[in-house]
A and B are shown apart, each in its own frame.
Chain A
Amino acid sequence: MRIARAQPLLGTIVEIAIDARSQALAERASTAAFATIARIHAAMNAHDPASELARLCENAHLRPTQISPGLRHVLRMACKLYALSGGVFDVTIAARLRRSGFLPKNGRRLHGGDSGDIRFLEDGRIRFTQPLDIDLGGIAKGYAVDRAVAVLKRAGITQGIVNAGGDLRVFGPRAEPVHVRDAQDPTVLHLAGALANGAIATTAGYYSRRGNRTPVVDPVTGKHASLHESVTIAAPTCMMADALTKIVALRGDAATPLLRRLRARRIAA
């Protein structure tokens, strides 16, 4: 039977839809998956001064700082994407987001700095070569979805979808139908196709735009994208799909070689 469940997490509504032999198994598996998502949210939330991420940013320019394997993994991927995208994907743009009002101000004043200032020490600790303000919003939701899927599989679930407010991952032998919102009118849905064993993420301006700006910032120019067209990316993992939507939103066709290299593709809506 297919069982669907949803909880408010990650600042959105997270749906888990799975095939399970029993309600009890479905409940156990989804409870574990939601708990994992909640843990990741607590650790990586740029809006929360008590999160592990916030504490890292408070300390890592002063002394090497120990962090959890999950946060380290996401930072590694963020830095890899920074390098692969020629600096277009840069999680250190939080300072700019605070100045333009998309993140709450925290009283710090930062000058310069980019993902190149993040150092991974051999003992697992992290060091910044100068103070940095990091926002993992372009990657952490996708990561949480991937981990939730791993938890569901470990619990014995063989087919399902985890969808965190539009960043979704499908697992199992069957392809699942995927809809995309019309970029001009998000009340309209288009059935885009069916996906098996992969993830889809969409970045668009329809709910995040203020005036002509969205929170997607070009690290090179400092300008906010207006995103009048939506960008939908399919990739093997949701973390990749999530991050790649930002890169494609800012670079368009120039990002095609990167998509190919990461076994991802842009989906027409």
Chain B
Amino acid sequence: MKMKWLPLAGTAAALVTPAHAATYFTVAQAQAAMFPGAKFQASPLQLTTEDRAALLAASGVHEPFDGAGVWQVSSGGWFITDAVVGKHEKIRYAVGLDAGGRIVGIEILEYNETYGYQVRDAAWRKQFVGKTSHDAVRLGKDIRNISGATLSCKHVTDGVHRVLALYERRLRKQ
């Protein structure tokens, strides 16, 4: 089938959209994808000061780890959600570990670019409603299909290191 490009006509090409945000698989969907057929038991953790220091040393991630995002998997592994923050982005993601602590999968749950636009008032944002050539583009959490690099996934990599450190420190002996 032939490629078709439909450019935005006239001044609308200069249209600016507000900060990009996208939601992907939910926690339940990510759990099901990583551990088909398994059951999940919420196992929230309270981290000690020493735990936090160890996680920081292992990963370089400063944002406090939310111990609420830990589930024990009926097949013997762990499902852990975490969030990492970059200069202009916040990424919520999930890591699946098998019974031996090996990574079985990493899913991005939510991606938010946190630029100044998000504090702009409702009147400014209203100008974008209906002003596109495509109904599919809405304010909010739609995938924007952006061509142009995202920031590297270094932050997610750091986050995964901290999840692995958490496993070593708090989950492995159980």
Contacts and interface: CB of A to CB of B under 8 A. Distances in A.
Interface of A: 4-8, 11-13, 15, 17, 23, 27, 31, 161, 163, 165-168, 170, 173, 175-181, 186-198, 200-202, 204, 206-208, 230, 232, 234-236, 263, 265, 267-268
B106 interface: yes
4 smallest A-B Cβ distances: which pairs?
A: A198-B3, A181-B148, A6-B108, A193-B7
Contacts of B115: 187
A178 B88 contact: no
Given A12-B153, A13-B153, A166 B3 contact: no
Contacts of A175: 4, 6, 134
Contacts of A200: 147
Given A12-B152, A207-B151, 10 more contacts: A7-B106, A13-B150, A15-B22, A163-B145, A168-B145, A170-B145, A178-B145, A194-B133, A202-B148, A206-B148
B143 A191 contact: no
Contacts of A204: 148-149
A187 B134 CA distance: 22
B119 interface: no
Interface stretch (B12-20, B57-65, B68-76, B165-173): B12-20
B14 A187 contact: no
A4 B6 contact: no
A13 B93 CA distance: 11
B126 interface: no
Grouping DSSP codes into helix (H, G, I), strand (E, B) and loop, the A interface class, with mixed when no group exceeds half, is strand
Which of B8, B32, B116, B157 is packed against the most chain A CB atoms within 10 Å?
B8
B153 A8 contact: yes
Given A192-B7, A267-B7, A165 B149 contact: yes
B166 to A, nearest CB: 18
Which of B7, B117, B137 is packed against the most chain A CB atoms within 10 Å?
B7
Contact of B5 (A11, A202, A207, A234): A234
A177 B3 contact: no
B46 interface: no
B148 A191 contact: no
A180 B45 CA distance: 41
B147 A201 contact: yes
A188 B174 CA distance: 48
Contacts of B14: 190
B137 A191 contact: yes
B146 interface: yes
B86 to A, nearest CB: 11
28 contacts: A4-B22, A5-B24, A7-B106, A8-B108, A8-B156, A13-B153, A31-B33, A166-B148, A167-B147, A176-B136, A179-B147, A179-B148, A180-B146, A180-B148, A187-B113, A190-B15, A190-B16, A191-B12, A192-B7, A194-B5, A195-B5, A195-B6, A196-B6, A197-B3, A202-B148, A207-B149, A263-B3, A268-B7
Contacts of B117: 187
Given A188-B16, A189-B16, A191-B17, A181 B146 contact: yes
Contact of B149 (A7, A31, A202, A263): A202
Given A6-B22, A27-B33, A177 B149 contact: no
Given A191-B8, A197-B3, A198-B4, A7 B107 contact: yes
Nearest to A183: B148
B3 A195 contact: yes
Nearest to B12: A191
Nearest to B24: A6
Which of B2, B5, B106, B133 is packed against the most chain A CB atoms within 10 Å?
B5
A207 B88 CA distance: 12
Given A31-B33, A167-B147, A8 B106 contact: yes
Nearest to A34: B105
Nearest to B16: A188
B111 interface: yes
B144 interface: yes
